[in-house]
Every structure is written in C-alpha cells, then in structure tokens.
Amino acid sequence: MAERGGGATRVLIATVALVVVALVVSSVIGSWRPKLPRLLSPVNARVVRVEVINGSGESGVASRAASFLRDGGFLVTEIHNAERSDYFATFVVARRKDISGAQAVSRYLGGAPVIRQAWGPELADVSLVIGSDRSRLRLGEKS
C-alpha cells in the first residue's frame, strides 16, 4: 500500500515539474521575441494620423501596411485604393507644415521618400501611397 501511494506522489511531482518547466520555457521564448520599435516616444506623445492608399494594384497590401503601422503606434484613419493602380514608387506625403510625423512613418517603413503637400484630408496628418515597389517596404515580415 505504501508502494502505491509513493507511485501516485511521483506522478504528481513529475506532472508539476513538467508544468513548471513548460512555464519557464514559455517565459524565456516570450522574452526573446523581437519587439516592434515605437518611434513615437512618450515624451513626444502626439499621435500621427495616417491614411494608407494602395496604388500598387496588389490586393491586401494596404491592409498589411495599416496593420504594421498600428503596431508601431500610428493611428490609421483610412485605407483605400488610389484612383489608379500604376504608381511605381512608394512615398509618404506630409499633409501638415510639420513633417516630423511623415518622417517617423518613413523611418518605420524602412525609408520611403517623404514629400510635403500641406493640404489634403482633414482626418490624416500623413498619407502613405504604396506603389509597385512595395517589396522595399518593411512591413514586419521576416526576410
């Protein structure tokens, strides 16, 4: 009888040990996971509102870019297709006099060119126009 109780105790200890090991491994893997950079520091907590325009003709690229921008702390206000789908180059348009928001979006995406056109939609500070060179954008995919 004592033998039987000892066997159940061993199984219980082994089960608890496995759970503890699984939790430790999960914690270590979670701490190694790369964190997405947040370009807008708490000191400069102004939210950059971004309009994402797909001019590439590729379905879904604007949604992927918008998701990546949201992960970076940007506020995506609108996603839509451009009037035409033959834009070759991807670029960032600064819609306000202060172009720091457009520069932050450009840096976050891997260095798309920034142009200043201080008029446009009232809901956005920055427009991202995605062209057929979209593969140059850094959208969080592993290369």
Tell me the percentage of the chain whose pLDDT exceeds 90: 51
Give 123 or 104, the one with higher predicted confidence: 104
Q: What is the reported pLDDT for 141? A: 59
> Per-domain residue ranges for the chain?
1-33, 42-136
Give 3 or 123, the one with higher predicted confidence: 123
Reported as a single tens digit per residue, the pLDDT across 32-84 is: 655 555 555 455 557 899 999 999 989 999 999 999 999 999 999 999 999 99
Longest dimension (CA), the chain: 85
Q: What is the reported pLDDT for 138? A: 79
The CATH topology of domain 42-136 is Alpha-Beta Plaits (3.30.70)
Per DSSP, the residues of 17-67 read: HHHHHHHHHHHHHHHHSPPPP--S-GGG-PPPEEEEEE-S--TTHHHHHHH
Q: Cβ contacts of residue 105 below 8 Å, gap of 6+?
A: 48, 50, 69, 74, 92, 112, 126, 128
| Mean pLDDT score, 106-123 | 85
| Nearest of 97, 86, 140, 133 to residue 113 by alpha carbon | 133
